[in-house]
Amino acid sequence: MIVARIYREQEPDSEPGAPEWAVEVEAIDACTEGFTREDAIAMLVDLIEGMIEMELKRPGIKVRVTELGDDGPDSFRVIVDVDEPALLGALVLRHQRESRGLTVQ
């Protein structure tokens, strides 16, 4: 499992109709956004499912998101888990190695 942060973006010059909620997944250096809190969670699920499918060639993995609680005003943390935890571990390891230049070509 990994932890993600979801928070309301507070930019006064944002375009009308722009997504208001941002999602950061530091362990895999990824982000997404949604128009509502619930939409942001759905986008997080879609992000993780898509990354596992595209990078690890494993379609159909189910992602679960559990809220941990508030992390400040308009901000909260969630736990992201999948039905095959080793795949999430492989995704994190791949991104950590790439970010440090340790991936074998």
What local confidence, expressed as pLDDT, does residue 18 receive? 75
74's CB contacts (< 8 A; 6+ apart) are 7, 8, 10
What is the per-residue pLDDT for 104?
Answer: 62
- What is the average per-residue pLDDT within 73-95? 94
In the chain, where the domains are located: 2-99
Q: Model confidence at 8, in pLDDT bands (50, 70, 90)?
A: very high
**Predicted confidence (pLDDT) at residue 97 exceeds the cutoff of 80:** yes
- Cβ-proximal residues to 83 (8 Å cutoff; 6+ apart), any chain: 61, 62, 64
Q: pLDDT value at position 9?
A: 86
pLDDT at 101: 83
Residue 28 C-beta-side C-alpha neighbours within 13 Å: 26
Q: Is the pLDDT of residue 12 over 60?
A: no
- Residues 3/77, Cβ–Cβ less than 8 Å: yes
pLDDT digits over 22-80, tens only? 999 999 999 999 999 999 999 999 999 999 999 999 999 999 999 998 888 899 999 99
